[in-house]
Structure 1
Amino acid sequence: MNKNLLFLFLALCSHLAASQTTVIRDPEIAGMIAEISSDSLEHHVRTLASFNSRHTLNTNEENGMPAAQRYVLSKFNHFAKQAGGRMTAEIDKFTIPADNRRITADSPGANVMATLKGTDPADDRIFIISAHMDSRNKDVMDAEGSAPGANDDGSGTAAVIELARIMASHEFSATILFVAFTGEEQGLKGATYLADKAKTEGWNIAAVLNNDIVGNSSSSETLIKDNLKMRVFSETIPAVETEQEANIRRYTNADNDSKSRQLARYIKELGERYVDQFEVKLIYRSDRFLRGGDQTPFARNGMRAVRISEMNENFIHQHENVRVEDGIQYGDLPEFMDFEYLRKVSAVNLASLASLANSADQPQEVRIDVRGLSNKSILLWSAPKTGKVKGYYVLMRETSSAMWERKFWTTETTLTLPYSKDNYFFAVQSVSESGAESLPVFPAPLSR
């Protein structure tokens, strides 16, 4: 082999070695993901769509919202039998006050919830996975007309039910709350009730994964068919921010590093780690134009919350009366869904949720030393409040990058890196003894 060919060969080998990525999967999480069934998801969607209308104001006991709520509750109660007393289920009833908009008079509301209690008494974190079970047709005030709501949001509700089925027989350090909201189409009523209740009662809501419209892979207008991508929406600047927090954000240029944005990155990393040939797209918006979701009330209360949604929406099958017009079938019907795609989205949720619920708490008092001019970066932090850790990752990315690019391992609570603090962003996450990674914490400046 001549010298030029040898040089090219060695350069290629070096490039391939540098570009390799080691994927390490927790066998328990991988096993749970393997249990997710597209058939089971389809069964739940078709059952929910079989009720004439799941409109929040439909009070028909046999074919309306109350019947659908009882169906979800029955599933949660059935799964609870596999949880060794750690799972309980309920219909949490409340009154929706009239708003002179989409609630014309005080009306009954209810969220269906299953609570899988964490195994660590010292760990008070609560991770919520949610969807809304109410449906609508074109007229949002029509509580009687047919509104199957297969994809919006029978798909998200089915995912919540399926994850409750699988996760009920497993143990997690933190508590997981599986929630099917009502009142979303009438103005996020069920989510607002629960978010306000959590804030008033001092619940430690660590993260909210809200699933809304997650079961279709074909778009209207553009006619794109793609079951290889999903979206995660996350707020940029927090909806609730003190002046001191705003000053720190501006000083550190952390506009792209809100707590919800860190959660979105975490979902992308974990989802793509466990779900093959599937891409999680980060959308740097709180939600879509003209639309909203049940993550919003939690964000308003200062809680970490994101919206998970399909990549390509089909508006012929959203918020439309069931009908055939000009040879086109309108309406949110199960036959226009992709249940294998829904399985993949459910798997991303499970990978993220299971890892979060088994992680130690986040490291505390994370700081980056900015007290002097230097071409290195010094990070310091304290151990998490709960959970046993075997070490920490210090994450690093270029300021123009969306995702963390490098992870530096340490068993100490400080690390000095030969990279300029002026040129990179950093964060720190705890790693539990089981290997589960906490959500990253963006450092505050240590200036004196």
Structure 2
Amino acid sequence: MRRVLSALCAALSLLACALFAPNEPTLLSLQLPTATPTLPHTPTAPAVSYQVPRDPSVQALRAEVQSDRLMHTLSHLVSFRTRHVLSRVDRADRGIGAARDWLFGAFERVRTAHPHKAIQVWTQPFVFSWQGRAIKAENVVAVLQGDMAGAGIYVIGAHYDSIGTPPTDGDADAPGANDNGSGVAALLEILHIMAGQPHRATLIFVAFAAEETGRQGSQAFVEQYLRAHVPPSALRGMLNLDMLGSMRDANGRVDPRTLRLFSAPPNDSPSRQLARQAALAISTYTDEVLPVLQSSEDRIGRWGDQMSFSEAGYAAVRFTQGLEDHRRHHNAHDTLDGIDLGYLMRTTRAALTAVAALSGGLPPPDQDSIALRRLHSGYQLTWAAVPEAHAYLIALRHRASLAYDAVLQVSQTALAWDQFMRYETLAIAAVDANGRFGGFSPELHVRELLR
């Protein structure tokens, strides 16, 4: 039967917690033009390329997203009529208890379908106060153990509760197709696909309760486990999937490509850095979705479960659609006919791409090994080698830029270049033999590296 929070601690305790001659770098394409590094010519220097390296297996994973599975999840969640935290918990066909049990069963089916993979599933009960009442609720959790010690942890989350009108009525219809059946459908689809794939980092999938009432479910997960047991450096990032299923607003506008990425400021915060990495991964593998970095943590006056993580010092990003139809929010009108299935498939593939790239790639170089020194003409950047790395990416950013302004690819652990001072920060990622880049090192201020 269900395992409780103590099982979470047991599961995650399984985690096992030179200088080279300069070589001409490869300048990678971005939306903005950048200058090619000025380096002495050498016979073995690689040709300039305008393509970010891609791992063909990540591209193949994207094709595994299935519309029928997404609709299967959505249809079941909507069929419970409401998933309000004050709704029934003792019926199999209605209320948040029925939704919790169905999700637990869906997570369990993924586990049993992969008997040779270390997957654990449980619910995390918690109690919170809302509207003068003590309310019991449960998060549903699955952990996919990573293959590489020290590769860290990524959390992928989506809230499964819904809320209607009036918001305190637990019996009012609140089908929650888009908010947030769409995010849960994407979460379950990514879980289904990643369970069949190798990944270096550990993945934790969480369906949160009690987001609509103030993020109490994600706060309980952070407070009862993460803050006590997982330092920020071990949790590489949290990706929150919240409202991914509609490309329309109330005025009839349609935006079939935009996917907004919200993250906590300031611009060099861990969350903003994670958002940049996710956006780079998505744009590397597809142009069917345009990841647009936002300058705020969420929409004005709104919230999301990513905030529970960033407030505790963990990097976290919200993935959400480009437009919103407020006529379908938090009422009986958030139904299946408001879902654009093609758009949901695209946003799910985008989120899957970010998860696969970040969790499947090599860890970055140790940030303490990154150094910059002056040369007679220009500067030399050096860093420690990462085992199994075949190349490295150096991401550069101006002070006010939300996204990276330039990305360089080099095959060694040193780069001599005269243009470093044009940029505010830099970060480095390792590229494996298949062309997959993982997470980047924390961004370092270029001028401070010289001190």
| Alpha carbons 2:394, 2:427 under 8 Å: kept | yes
Task: Measure how far apart 1:216 and its partner are.
Answer: 0.6
Corresponding residue for residue 102 of structure 2: 71
The alignment partner of 1:106 has SS state of strand
Task: Measure how far apart 1:343 and its partner are.
Answer: 0.6
Corresponding residue for residue 288 of structure 1: 299
1:138 aligned to 2:165?
yes
The alignment partner of 2:226 has SS state of helix
Greater CA deviation, 263-272 or 421-430? 421-430
| Alpha carbons 1:390, 1:431 under 8 Å: kept | yes
- Aligned length, in residue pairs: 398
1:229 aligned to 2:266?
no
Letter in 1 for 2:316: A
Corresponding residue for residue 440 of structure 1: 440
- State how far apart, in whole Å, the 2-side matches of 1:165 and 1:371 are: 47
Letter in 2 for 1:332: D
Greater CA deviation, 123-132 or 415-424? 415-424
Task: Measure how far apart 1:23 and its partner are.
Answer: 5.5
Corresponding residue for residue 376 of structure 1: 378
Task: Measure how far apart 1:187 and its partner are.
Answer: 1.0
Letter in 2 for 1:302: G
Greater CA deviation, 106-115 or 283-292? 106-115
- State how far apart, in whole Å, the 1-side matches of 2:311 and 2:424 are: 30
| Alpha carbons 2:54, 2:435 under 8 Å: kept | no
- State how far apart, in whole Å, the 1-side matches of 2:155 and 2:187 are: 10
| Alpha carbons 1:89, 1:112 under 8 Å: kept | no
- State how far apart, in whole Å, the 2-side matches of 1:168 and 1:373 are: 48
Corresponding residue for residue 6 of structure 1: none
The correspondence of residues 245-256 of structure 1 with structure 2, limited to 5 A, is: 256=267
- State how far apart, in whole Å, the 2-side matches of 1:423 and 1:175 are: 33
1:361 aligned to 2:363?
yes
Kindly report the root-mean-square deviation, in angstroms, between the aligned alpha carbons of the 2 structures: 2.5
- State how far apart, in whole Å, the 2-side matches of 1:288 and 1:84 are: 41
| Alpha carbons 1:368, 1:377 under 8 Å: kept | no
- State how far apart, in whole Å, the 2-side matches of 1:372 and 1:383 are: 21
- State how far apart, in whole Å, the 2-side matches of 1:110 and 1:401 are: 40
Corresponding residue for residue 41 of structure 1: 70
Gaps of 5+ in 1: 1-14, 238-255, 323-330
Encode CA deviations 1:36-95: one digit per residue, 9 max, x unaligned: 112221221111011021112323322111111111111111122333342434342323
Encode CA deviations 1:356-397: one digit per residue, 9 max, x unaligned: 11112222225776887997344343346xx63233222224
Task: Measure how far apart 1:277 and its partner are.
Answer: 2.8
- State how far apart, in whole Å, the 1-side matches of 2:329 and 2:153 are: 32
The correspondence of residues 27-106 of structure 1 with structure 2, limited to 5 A, is: 27-62=56-91, 63-98=94-129, 102-106=130-134
| Alpha carbons 2:81, 2:95 under 8 Å: kept | yes
Encode CA deviations 1:185-233: one digit per residue, 9 max, x unaligned: 111011111112112012621111101111011101x321121111001
Distance 1:74 1:368, change over 3 A: closer
Task: Measure how far apart 1:406 and its partner are.
Answer: 3.1
- State how far apart, in whole Å, the 2-side matches of 1:29 and 1:206 are: 20
Corresponding residue for residue 239 of structure 2: 209
| Alpha carbons 1:45, 1:155 under 8 Å: kept | yes
| Alpha carbons 2:54, 2:436 under 8 Å: kept | no
- State how far apart, in whole Å, the 2-side matches of 1:305 and 1:81 are: 30
- State how far apart, in whole Å, the 2-side matches of 1:97 and 1:110 are: 11
State the TM-score, normalized to the length of structure 2: 0.82
Task: Measure how far apart 1:319 and its partner are.
Answer: 1.2
The correspondence of residues 166-245 of structure 1 with structure 2, limited to 5 A, is: 166-196=193-223, 197-202=225-230, 204-220=234-250, 222-237=251-266
Task: Measure how far apart 1:25 and its partner are.
Answer: 3.3
The alignment partner of 2:70 has SS state of helix
Corresponding residue for residue 309 of structure 2: 298
- State how far apart, in whole Å, the 2-side matches of 1:411 and 1:168 are: 32
Corresponding residue for residue 109 of structure 1: 137
Distance 1:38 1:136, change over 3 A: same
| Alpha carbons 2:165, 2:172 under 8 Å: kept | no
- State how far apart, in whole Å, the 2-side matches of 1:20 and 1:174 are: 29
- State how far apart, in whole Å, the 1-side matches of 2:219 and 2:80 are: 25
The alignment partner of 1:389 has SS state of coil
Distance 1:360 1:25, change over 3 A: closer
- State how far apart, in whole Å, the 2-side matches of 1:288 and 1:107 are: 27
Greater CA deviation, 410-419 or 370-379? 370-379
- State how far apart, in whole Å, the 2-side matches of 1:344 and 1:61 are: 36
- State how far apart, in whole Å, the 2-side matches of 1:185 and 1:406 are: 39
| Alpha carbons 1:184, 1:293 under 8 Å: kept | yes
| Alpha carbons 2:245, 2:321 under 8 Å: kept | yes
Letter in 2 for 1:348: A
Corresponding residue for residue 396 of structure 1: 396
Letter in 2 for 1:191: S
- State how far apart, in whole Å, the 2-side matches of 1:159 and 1:285 are: 23
Letter in 1 for 2:200: S
- State how far apart, in whole Å, the 2-side matches of 1:154 and 1:420 are: 45
Greater CA deviation, 153-162 or 352-361? 352-361
Letter in 1 for 2:351: N
Using CA pairs under 8 Å that are at least 6 residues apart, name the structure with larger relative contact order, 1 or 2: 2
The alignment partner of 2:421 has SS state of coil
- State how far apart, in whole Å, the 2-side matches of 1:20 and 1:381 are: 23
Distance 1:89 1:55, change over 3 A: farther
Gaps of 5+ in 2: 1-32, 37-47
Corresponding residue for residue 152 of structure 2: 125
Corresponding residue for residue 246 of structure 1: none
Distance 1:87 1:339, change over 3 A: farther
The alignment partner of 1:363 has SS state of coil
| Alpha carbons 1:77, 1:88 under 8 Å: kept | no
- State how far apart, in whole Å, the 1-side matches of 2:376 and 2:422 are: 9
Task: Measure how far apart 1:436 and its partner are.
Answer: 2.3
Greater CA deviation, 145-154 or 392-401? 392-401
- State how far apart, in whole Å, the 2-side matches of 1:50 and 1:367 are: 54
State the TM-score, normalized to the length of structure 1: 0.82
Distance 1:375 1:291, change over 3 A: farther
The alignment partner of 2:391 has SS state of strand
Task: Measure how far apart 1:420 and its partner are.
Answer: 4.5
